[in-house]
Amino acid sequence: MNRMRTRVMVADDQPQVRSALLLLLRQDPEMAVVGEAGDVEQALQLAAEQQPDLVLLDWELPGQINGSTLSRLRATHPGLKVIALSGRPEARLAALSAGVDAFVSKGDPPEQLLAAVHSCKRRAH
């Protein structure tokens, strides 16, 4: 089986959230976790180094203003898929308006996140 795995990066300032996301993603044979970041600068540097296909981006990541991280990521990685994550479901509209590929509330079940990840993966290939 020679399928390409989706290279995924997680950017969230909460270590517990990152751990849970990484655990979930690592159980999926189609995903390859290429790194994790706890702030905007780390996320931008890691994206430049690892060239992920997909970023799970905490919409309230410290240092981010009105989706500025999204624009900076897309400026250097035009084909990059980004799923915004937030503990505030009301952030959905702002994130989608800013141009993320999908939005998942941190309160949603894990299956919803995996569905969003696989949906982005299908659109990328």
User: Looking at residue 113, which CATH number applies to its domain?
Assistant: 3.40.50.2300
Segment (H or E) for 50: helix 40-50
**Residue 31 forms part of a structural domain:** yes
Domain that holds residue 44: 6-124
In this prediction, residue 66 carries a pLDDT of 66
Q: Residue 105 and residue 24: Cα distance in Å, rounded?
A: 15
Specify the pLDDT at position 2. Answer: 41
Do 90 and 105 contact (CB within 8 A), yes or no? Answer: no
Q: How many other CB atoms are there within 10 angstroms of residue 41's CB atom?
A: 12
Note the pLDDT of residue 1: 37
pLDDT averaged per 10 residues, the chain (length 125): 79 95 94 95 94 94 78 88 94 93 94 93 69
On whether residue 48 sits in a domain, the answer given is: yes
Q: Is residue 36 part of a domain?
A: yes
CA 57-124-35 angle, 5° bins: 40
Name the residue type at position 103: F
Q: Is residue 106 part of a domain?
A: yes
Specify the DSSP element, H or E, that contains 112: helix 110-124
